[in-house]
Structure 1
Amino acid sequence: MTKKIAFLGMGVMGTPMSLNLMQAGFPVTVWNRSSSSPNLQRIRDSNGTVKDSIAAAVEDADYIFICVSDVPDVKEVLLGIKGAIHCAKPQALIIDFSTIGSPTARDIAEKLKAKHLRFLDAPISGGDIGAENGTLTIMVGGDRQDFEEAMPYFEAMGKNIYYCGETGSGQAVKMCNQVLCAVHMVALCEAIKLAEYQGIDPNLMIEVCQTGAAGSWAIANLGRKITMADFRPGFMIKHILKDLRLVQETLDNFPALPGFELATQQFKNTAQLADALEQGTQAMFRAYY
């Protein structure tokens, strides 16, 4: 019997992830908070089913996937008055691809468990490029058996899938990932500025440096976007700021992380510029003008 999937949240990430699931042959029903989103037409064009309420989307789903922006959004979609917790069938497996931090993931898991629903926290990395190409990195926390059960679906959306441990462990690894992403962006922006100062074509610097020890996802995927002043979002400034807020909450009494603090300040500086919050993280370069 074919298992049914509901996917909640048709944003920059959720839409291509749903399309990749459909391309792999899985039946997918989607819901999005904004019914006017142009992304919904992409789903319809691929013969996906679009529903106008969470209840209609999840009522007979075996798997419920969610990818939305922030902690309040996840809580509203899963636990709110019209949330999935009230209409999902017992033992459905809910998998959250959002970045919400470990404490929130554990809290949600407990509330869902009380309603006989299973939960995996599965934050993702790879940006819109990884989502479109089905090459995301997926970091999963929760029951190992649930992880193994969900593997065929993860493999339709990602290339690097890791079981990280008990509930919240995926989020814990994602916090480390976001610190790396933030600090890498500082390094990339400063390397481009240094190349310009020395009269070196930044594109040449990018071509050379991405092949050596300084190579990174950021330089390979975002370097040329910066040199072209292409600040269209794959992952928005407002979203990295949210993630860095979660890192800060995670740190609590942990000793200071100077690189993290510098990157956070640079993103905050960028956020003060016109339209920057809706631009991609590579827009940090604007703060170096």
Structure 2
Amino acid sequence: MSETIYGFIGLGNMGGPMAGRLLDAGYPLHVADSNPAVRQQLAARGAVAHDSARAVGDAADVVFLSLPDGKVVEQVLGGEQGLARAGRAKCVVDLSTIGPAAARRAFDTLAAQGIEYVDAPISGGPTGAERGTLAVMVACPPARYEALAQVLSTFGKPFYLGAEAGQAQVMKLANNLLSATAVAITSEAMALGVKAGLDPSVMIDVINAGSGRNSATMEKFPKAVLTGTFNVGFAARLAHKDVRLCLEEAERYGVPMVVGSSVREMLVMTTAICGRDADYADVARVVEDWAGVKVRARQ
């Protein structure tokens, strides 16, 4: 049997490290990105760089996507130089967070060309992408999942969610709603404590030893808020996109999202106040400004 050739489209904060892990594991890899500089960085490590998605699909059997939203995925799949027009690729594994409706549309676009679509969003952030510790949520036919399991393990731990495109997206949106809620509510709790005269570093230690611990208190606040760097590495606008998609899916199923709606509004305000390039951690900065405190480690 001939060797499977892989492709990777989207070499940003998440895609770049994941593509690098494939190269480090010895997989033959063809890559594309709108940024020529990141293409060349991977080419210097052994990848073959291309300037279009179609060119990657003409060279590879299985193509991974790591793209910012559903609109970009639709363009990469169905555009003039899209994967749907490629001559070789027979499987597209979409690691992006695009929501269930967009995943189903992507499935239909590729199915019409005899190409299999695998819904496979990831969680774990840039650090997880670098270390290969991501959670990889996968929805596709069982046989395809078995065929992909080994290569997916290069990125982290795969979890099988079901056979239908969109099921893994629901899991990812639920996860990201919890993550965003943790950031928002931790920002409020920490601002209250500091306003009352508590040491924020001690607060974090107490919370992490108690029932209030969460991903924000364990990782994001020690790294990006107590230090004042506000550099989680994930844009607030993308967090808003994920929460918005989650609320849309909840409405589709008739599930109330009272808390989720408040978190969405907090992310809207953060982007409006701090700008399009606002980091996820800037939610805490906004709450700090409102409260008139700085949640910083004491020297």
Distance across 1 between alignment mates of 2:83 and 2:57 = 7
- The question of 1:161 aligning with 2:162 is answered no
One-letter amino acid matched to 1:136: L
Q: 2:9–2:53: 8 Å Cα contact kept in structure 1?
A: yes
Within 5 A, what are the aligned runs for 1:92-103?
92-103=90-101
- 1:18 aligns with 19
Counterpart position of 2:33: 32
Once the two structures are TM-superposed, the CA of residue 145 in structure 1 deviates from its matched residue by 1.0
Please state whether the residue corresponding to 1:59 is helix, strand or coil: helix
The Cα offsets for residues 202-221 of structure 1, whole Å up to 9 and x where unpaired, read as 12222332243322222222
Report the alpha carbon displacement of residue 120 of structure 1 after superposing the two structures with TM. 0.6
Paired residue type of 2:10: G
TM superposition shift of 1:236: 0.6
Shift of 1:148: 1.2
Give matches, 1:1-289, under 5 Å.
Answer: 1-35=2-36, 37=37, 39-89=38-88, 92-158=90-156, 160-166=157-163, 167-224=165-222, 225-252=224-251, 254-275=254-275, 277-288=276-287, 289=289
Counterpart for residue 296 of structure 2: none
Distance 1:170 1:7 in 2: 20
8 Å contact from structure 2 (residues 68, 96) kept in 1: yes
Q: Distance between the aligned counterparts of 2:24 and 2:241, measured in 1?
A: 32
**How many pairs align?**
284
- Give the match's secondary structure for 1:95: strand
TM norm structure 2: 0.90
Q: Which amino acid aligns with 2:269?
A: N
**Counterpart contact for 2:31–2:56, Cα < 8 Å:** yes
**Deviation (angstroms), 1:21:** 1.1
What's the RMSD between the two structures over aligned residues? 1.7
Q: Give, in angstroms, the shift of residue 255 of structure 1.
A: 4.3
Summarize deviations over 1:183-238 as a string: whole Å, max 9, x none: 11112212221231232221222233224332222222201211112223521111
Work out the percentage of aligned pairs sharing the same amino acid: 28
Q: CA deviation at 1:88?
A: 4.1
Residue 248 of structure 1 aligns with an amino acid whose one-letter code is: L
* Contact 2:39–2:49 (8 Å) recurs in 1: yes
TM-score w.r.t. structure 1 length? 0.92
CA positional deviation for 1:117: 0.7
Structure 2: how far apart are the matches of 1:21 and 1:139? 18
For structure 1, which runs of at least 5 residues remain unmatched after alignment? none
Give, in angstroms, the shift of residue 125 of structure 1. 0.8
Q: CA deviation at 1:63?
A: 0.7
